[in-house]
Amino acid sequence: MKKSLPTSLVKEQRSKRYRSELSTTVNGVAGVTHNVSATGFYILQEQPCEVGSTIEFSVDLGTRGVRLKLCCEGEVVRIDKVDARFGIGIKIHSQVMKALN
C-alpha cells in the first residue's frame, strides 16, 4: 500500500498546488513530484538538498506522442523528512521546455 504525505505538508501557498506524480532528476538524483504549481515543485527523493541552495532539476512530461522534458533552475525553500525520503520544496527561477523525440 502506497503511503501518502500528511495533508499538513501541503499548506496554502501563493499559487494553487496540483497533486501529480512525474519523474524528476534533481542534481542527478531521481525522484518524483508530489505537487506542482506555476511557481514551484514539491519533489520526493532519497537524498536531501540544502535549504537556500540553487539547484538544477528536470521533470519528464509525456503528452500525446511527444516526450518533453522541463529543465529548470530553482531555489530549495524547504526540506521535510517523509518516511525514508526527503520532500524538497523548490521555487522556480528559470525553465526551458525541450522535446526529446
- Summarised one tens digit per residue, pLDDT across range 62-98 is 777 888 999 999 999 999 999 999 999 999 999 999 9
- Summarised one tens digit per residue, pLDDT across range 5-59 is 544 444 444 678 888 899 999 988 999 999 999 899 999 999 999 999 999 999 9
pLDDT for residue 72: 96
Backbone angles phi, psi at 8, to 5 degrees: -65, -20
Q: What predicted TM-score, i.e. pTM, was given to this entire model?
A: 0.79
Span 96-101, average pLDDT: 87
Backbone angles phi, psi at 62, to 5 degrees: -115, 125
Backbone angles phi, psi at 9, to 5 degrees: -75, -20
pLDDT for residue 85: 95
